Amino acid sequence: MTTRLYEHQIFLEHRTPEGHPERADRLRSLAIALQHPNFDRLDHREAPQANEDAVLLAHPEEHLHAVMREIPEEDIIRQIEADTYVGPKSLQAALTAIGGAMAAVDDVMSGKVDNAFVAARPPGHHAEKDKAMGFCLFNNAAIAARHAQRAHGVERVAIVDWDVHHGNGTQDIFWSDPSVLFCSTHQMPLYPGTGAVDETGEKNNVVNAPLSPNNGSEHFRDAFKSRVLPALENFRPDFIIISAGFDAHHRDPLAQINLVGDDFDWATGRVMEIAGKYANNRVVSLLEGGYDLEGLAESAGMHIMRLMRG
């Protein structure tokens, strides 16, 4: 399998306050882990910057302009929501995160690579149709899904989100769209408070598999096997996007789910089996959460290694 990694220095320049969990060191720790000889075959590319119109694939123009108005010209960090911040380079970083996701879709759809991982920040899955929240400005996974449909004629996109926080933004954007299946495992109760089992979307295209605090590998895998995988089998996706958060790792400070790196390896393998069966192996994975540097490096490293192995 050929796996492409999209990265860019601009992602380090999206600034958050001292002590904020969503920080540039997350990408630095992953970059160090990927220097291991196991990753020599990984195809590194610089993520391109998307134009502002790309945001409109998943958000109204008013939301784009609202975020743009918040970007400070002076060298300060501005709080735009409870825990969401922007600095002078944040718009550029967010557009490059989108550009990387769209380029990854293009590469996989054209057959240049088998799959791709986008190591970007800010993350995206909490960004609702018209609201920035939860460290997220724009919804990278939603934009990537729409790009696959609009630019490449993909009919059915599945988004699998195993971030420990529910992807409320992705659910919001696709709530009534049967062409996109959204599947999420996450801790409940936990930020943002959404993601109950009975939240199924208008077209039964939303599948939530909530976990309880202190659940571990067995509960996670059971949720995946009993809810996520049957939904994917039934949907038969043409393309799969992973919202790859690694904050369900037992070391993570923001949650109480006790996964280990092997669980992410296992989940990646199961998703790739579905992709092999229905989607011509087409998988794009986008970094979401993961706030313990060691846990993130271990888990994301095992995830990427599984993408490379096929």
| Helix residue ranges per DSSP H, the chain | 25-33, 61-70, 90-110, 140-152, 168-174, 217-223, 229-235, 261-278, 293-309
Q: 14, 126, 166, 249: which is the annotated catalytic residue?
A: 126
Cα dist. 32→26, 286, 294 in Å? Answer: 10, 18, 11
Determine whether 20 is an active site residue: no
Listed in sequence order, the residues at least 6 apart from 85 whose beta carbon sits closer than 8 Å to its beta carbon are 15, 16, 17, 20, 77, 78, 79
Report the b/e string of 193-231 with b at 16+ CB within 10 A: ebbeeebebeeebbbbbbbeeebebebbbebbeebbbeb
Cα dist. 72→49, 61, 89 in Å? Answer: 19, 19, 9
Q: What string of DSSP letters covers 226-277? A: IIIHHHHHHH--SEEEEEE--TTBTT-TT---BB-HHHHHHHHHHHHHHHHH
Residues with active-site annotation: 126
